[in-house]
């Protein structure tokens, strides 16, 4: 077993099933989990990990599974990349915590400088660091309210922004995220998004106009602090808005002194084949929220944006005990360097081409695949009853379970539970990417 504990790139890059999935040791651990952990924390696939790297996750039974999940778009550079491990080890040996608000350190400042440089737009920027995506979204709203002195926030249909009280209010889907957890924060309004597959014929600018009309009539521009949007929706179903939707919304916000906030928690850091998803259409958000892929699995999140907006809150108004923890900052610096030195933006595009081509070929002969969409290494298929747009969540569950049993980690998403999403780490070898797609093809045919 000892060799199994070596993660990173030395891990054999193969799918290997030594037992059924989950195996006996995982089942034993899962029984202990159920007895010890609150059931509110769900489990997609109860195999218990001992190592991960490249494109695989290895479990306690010695099974090696192909990873199309990246721990929900987090391990974009792969698990335990050597430069990240070295940076983290060096930092952990030097010091683990001082609290940046008590005695600061260089790593935090360097992360801020790097984010200010690489996020969309060449304007003067500032950054503040947090622990989770939800916490960063909350703080983007605080900053926008302090700047505009207005209360209202607009989020969209199918949006996901987190599980804290304010971000539950901003999240669209009731089960599992919100049900029974209210009352929710006030002054959050919902607008229709552009969802080309379910919105056929409505082009980007028209979809933006539809949202803006509603905002003007139901919220009132003079009350609106911020419009918060995922440039490609994550949990909501990898919904890619029609071209021109985001640009029209952003320019309306500019014209009305409304802060345009891009939630790039899932899409950021090369995932979509651009450094940030906003880059694809040249959208420049006033504030951009990042987390997930930022630090290779260490908890870190950020709000980056226009200096005059970011500096609106008074001194002491932003922060948190652990925000910008030095170990997470060391990891983030390693991630951001690796994205550049290893050409990971291009790698995400190549993965996207491979996946899209194969999935479109599957769609051509299978009417249950209603849509193939996404960008870069963030691709999904929406499953429907043949020849309709009626969601088939049951089929989606069967295909995910079938893939898991064959050693392929896939996730589902979507408001209607009928989207299979693929988020491989960019370190996945081509042969595992192809093998994963072969498995999907076979499982769909059997389902
Ligand atoms: C995951 C996610 C969040 C919440 O991030 P946490 O770190 O889980 O709090 C917010 N927004 C988007 C788009 C996400 O995908």
User: Is the C-alpha dihedral spanning 362, 364, 366, 371 positive or negative?
Assistant: positive
CA dist 221 and 232 (Å) reads: 25
CA pair distance 409, 96, nearest whole angstrom? 33
Which contacts qualify for 388-395: CB closer than 8 Å, 24 or more apart? 389/197, 389/198, 391/416, 391/417, 391/418, 392/368, 392/418, 393/417, 393/418, 395/368, 395/447
What pLDDT is recorded for position 3?
A: 42
CB atoms within 10 A of CB 282: 11
CB of 302 closer than 6 A to ligand 1?
no
Q: What is the mean pLDDT of residues 46-74?
A: 98
Q: What is the pTM of this model?
A: 0.98
pLDDT > 80? residue 94? yes
Angle at 323 between CA 317 and CA 328, to 5 degrees: 160
317 near 146, Cβ under 8 Å? yes
Topology at the third CATH level for domain 2-80+343-446: 3.90.1150
Confidence class for position 2, pLDDT limits 50, 70, 90: very low
Does the C-beta of 264 come closer than 6 Å to ligand 1? Answer: no
Sequence-separated (6 or more) residues with CB below 8 Å from residue 326: 91, 94, 95, 96, 97, 98, 105, 107, 108
Asked whether 48 and 425 are in contact (CB, 8 A), the reply is no
The residue ranges of every structural domain in the chain are 2-80+343-446, 84-341
- Cα distances from 168 to residues 177, 180, 399, in angstroms, run 7, 11, 29
With a 6 Å cutoff on the Cβ, whether 421 touches ligand 1 is no
Which ligand 1 atom sits nearest the alpha carbon of residue 131?
Answer: 7
> C-alpha 362: how far from its chain's center?
26
Measure the CA–CA gap between 336 and 323, rounded to whole angstroms: 18
Q: What is the pLDDT of residues 362-393, one digit of tens each?
A: 999 999 999 999 999 999 999 999 989 999 99
Under a CB-based contact definition with an 8 Å cutoff, are residues 157 and 192 in contact?
Answer: yes
pLDDT recorded at residue 137? 99
In the reported structure, the alpha carbon of residue 265 is separated from the centroid of ligand 1 by a whole-number distance in angstroms of 6
Closest C-alpha among 184, 145, 195 to residue 161: 184
Closest to 99 in 3D by CA, of 91, 108, 86, 90: 108
CATH T-level fold of 84-341: 3.40.640
Residue nearest to atom 5 of ligand 1 (CA): 133
Instruction: State if residue 69 touches ligand 1 by the CB under 6 angstroms criterion.
Output: no
Ligand 1 in contact with 352 (CB < 6 A)? no
Q: What is the pLDDT of residues 247-300, one digit of tens each?
A: 999 999 999 999 999 999 999 999 999 999 999 999 999 999 999 999 999 999
Q: Is 415 in the pocket of ligand 1 (CB under 6 A)?
A: no
Give the chain's mean pLDDT. Answer: 97
Residue with CA closest to ligand 1 atom 6: 133
Ligand 1 site-directed mutation target among 70, 129, 133, 136, most atoms within 8 Å of CB = 133
Please state the φ and ψ torsions of residue 51, each to the nearest 5 degrees: -160, 155
> Is any ligand 1 atom within 6 A of the Cβ of residue 293?
no
Indicate which atom in ligand 1 lies nearest the CA of residue 162: 4
- pLDDT beyond 80 at 108: yes
pLDDT of residue 4: 41
The answer to whether the CB of 131 is under 6 A from ligand 1 is: no
Indicate if 84-341 has the same CATH topology as 2-80+343-446.
no
- The pLDDT, as a whole number, for residue 200 is 86
């Amino acid at each position: 077993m000892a060799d199994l504990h070596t993660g990173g790139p030395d891990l054999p890059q193969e799918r290997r099933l030594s037992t059924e999935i989950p195996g006996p040791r995982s089942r034993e651990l899962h029984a202990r989990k159920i007895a010890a952990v609150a059931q509110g924390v769900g489990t997609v696939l109860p195999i218990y990990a001992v190592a991960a790297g490249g494109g695989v996750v290895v479990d306690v039974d010695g099974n090696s599974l192909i990873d199309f999940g990246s721990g929900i778009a987090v391990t974009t550079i792969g698990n335990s990349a050597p430069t990240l491990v070295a940076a983290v080890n060096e930092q952990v040996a030097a010091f683990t915590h001082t609290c940046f608000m008590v005695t600061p350190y260089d790593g935090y400042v360097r992360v801020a400088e790097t984010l200010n440089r690489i996020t969309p737009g060449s304007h003067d920027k500032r950054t503040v660091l947090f622990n989770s995506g939800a916490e960063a979204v909350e703080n983007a709203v605080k900053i926008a309210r302090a700047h505009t002195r207005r209360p209202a926030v607009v989020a969209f249909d199918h949006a996901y922004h987190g599980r804290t009280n304010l971000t539950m209010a901003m999240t669209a889907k009731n089960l599992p995220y919100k049900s029974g957890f209210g009352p929710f924060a006030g002054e959050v309004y919902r607008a229709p998004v552009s969802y080309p597959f379910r919105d056929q014929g409505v082009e980007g600018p028209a979809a933006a106009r539809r949202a803006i009309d509603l905002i003007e009539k139901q919220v009132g521009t003079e009350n609106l602090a911020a419009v918060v949007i995922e440039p490609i929706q994550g949990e909501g179903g990898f919904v890619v808005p029609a071209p021109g939707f985001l640009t029209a919304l952003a320019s309306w916000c500019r014209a009305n002194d409304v802060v345009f906030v891009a939630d790039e928690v899932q899409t950021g850091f090369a995932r979509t084949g651009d450094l940030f998803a906003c880059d694809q259409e040249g959208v420049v958000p006033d504030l951009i929220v990042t987390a997930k892929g930022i630090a290779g699995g260490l908890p870190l999140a950020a709000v980056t944006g226009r200096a005059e907006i970011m500096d609106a809150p008074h001194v002491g108004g932003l922060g948190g005990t652990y925000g910008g923890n030095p170990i997470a900052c060391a990891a983030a610096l390693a991630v951001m360097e690796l994205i550049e030195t290893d050409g990971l933006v291009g790698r995400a595009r190549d993965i996207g081409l491979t996946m899209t081509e194969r999935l479109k070929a599957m769609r051509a002969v299978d009417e249950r695949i209603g849509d193939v969409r996404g960008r870069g290494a963030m691709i999904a298929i929406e499953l429907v009853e043949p020849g309709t747009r009626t969601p088939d969540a049951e089929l989606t569950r069967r295909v995910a379970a079938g893939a898991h049993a064959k050693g392929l980690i896939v996730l589902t998403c979507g408001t209607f539970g009928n989207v299979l999403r693929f988020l491989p780490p960019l370190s996945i070898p081509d042969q595992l990417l192809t093998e994963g797609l072969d498995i999907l093809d076979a499982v769909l045919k059997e389902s």
